[in-house]
Amino acid sequence: MAVLDSQSDLSLSRVAMKAELLDAETELALAYAWRDQRDEAALHRLITAYMRLAISMAAKFKRYGAPMNDLIQEAGLGLMKAADKFDPDRGVRFSTYAVWWIKASIQDYVMRNWSMVRTGSTSSQKSLFFNMRRVQARLEREAASRGEYLDRDQLHQMISTEVGVPLGDVVMMEGRLSGNDFSLNATQSSEDEGREWIDTIEDDSTPSSAMVEHAHDTECLRSWLVEAMSNLNERERFIVRERKLREEARTLESLGNELGLSKERVRQLEAAAYVKMRKSLEGGRKEVQAFL
């Protein structure tokens, strides 16, 4: 944290704008130096180089009314967390990993300071908070261009489908975003011993760090899998998709019938495809190799 605390927000921005652009080799060396030797000079250099990215992302959240200085500080904290948890052995650029942490840190800050009562804390509520008004406005514009009018129920259903969250969460979020704040310490009844509203709030959300790591790892696995499958011919890709990427894997016999091949020949093609994919993933990507 000292990397951020040692500079004012203004000087931090100035330093960030003048910071060096790290090439992949230098970035990797700094990441190893911090992870293995806890070299604070390496950490400072890595953080400073990517504060430009953090400030750029913070600026996108100004419309929520939070002070820019606070947004920059939160973005910097997310960048610090990313540097502390980054594993250079994964084979991805630090900036790719840091984006997830920076965004999560800023979003958590915005939601905490907007209103605990009106926004909520689950992943679907978080997605709605940052996307609902934009999606709603677009849907209404598109309907108007077609000469249509969307009633509230239709609009809620379309937002639910568009954002990929339960319909009930859409209805609840609309009420929270349009309602007034009230004290969490207010009692639910007029009785002196009535329970306070804060006692009813349960935090059942996944920790932000776990959400970020899961999203990052999923994206890495997807990109590595696409890379490995790019070395296969069309028939091999088809077999791998049907055998490994469907919710219910198809049998060798059913694939053989579709392709006009024997069951044994399909098995041979599948095995050969996995060999090709493993070779393309040599030097890492253990998670995808386990998939094979």
Residues 6+ away with beta carbon under 8 Å from 141: none
CATH class of 2-114: mainly alpha
User: Is residue 37 very low, low, confident or very high in pLDDT (cuts 50, 70, 90)?
Assistant: very high
Q: What's the pLDDT band for 33 if we cut at 50, 70, 90?
A: very high
Q: What gap in Å lies between CA 111 and CA 125, rounded to an integer?
A: 10
Mean pLDDT of the 129-133 span = 74
pTM of this structure: 0.47
Please name the residue ranges forming H helices in 93-151.
94-114, 116-119, 123-145
Question: Rounded to an integer, what is the distance from CA 157 to the centroid of its chain?
Answer: 24
pLDDT for residue 289: 47
Question: H/E element holding 287?
Answer: helix 286-291
Domains 2-114 and 208-291 share a fold: no
Question: What would the mean pLDDT of 265-289 be, rounded to a whole number?
Answer: 75
**pLDDT at 202 exceeding the cut of 80:** no
Return d(Cα 29, Cα 46) in angstroms, integer: 10
**pLDDT mean over 256-284:** 85
Mean residue pLDDT of the chain comes to: 76
Say which residue, 212 or 88, is predicted with more confidence. 88
Least confident of 96-105, 222-231, 260-269, 281-290: 281-290
pLDDT, position 5: 47
Q: Indicate the fold that domain 208-291 takes in CATH.
A: Arc Repressor Mutant, subunit A (1.10.10)
**Phi and psi based region of residue 194 (left: phi greater than 0; alpha: psi -120 to 50; beta: remaining):** beta
Most confident of the ranges 27-36, 127-136, 166-175, 272-281: 27-36
Q: Please check the confidence at residue 65 and state whether its pLDDT lies above 80.
A: no
Q: What is the mean pLDDT of residues 106-118?
A: 67
Q: Residue 119's pLDDT band (boundaries 50, 70, 90)? A: very low
Residue 126: pLDDT over 60: yes
Task: Give the tokens for residue 64.
Answer: 């929520």
pLDDT at residue 92 in the model: 82
Q: pLDDT tens, 178-199?
A: 654 444 455 545 554 555 544 5
Asked if pLDDT for residue 8 goes beyond 70, the answer is no
Q: Sketch the domain layout of the chain as residue ranges.
A: 2-114, 116-180, 208-291
Q: What is the pLDDT of residue 123?
A: 65
What is the pLDDT at residue 26? Answer: 92
Residue range 141-175, pLDDT digits in tens = 888 888 888 888 888 888 888 888 788 777 777 76
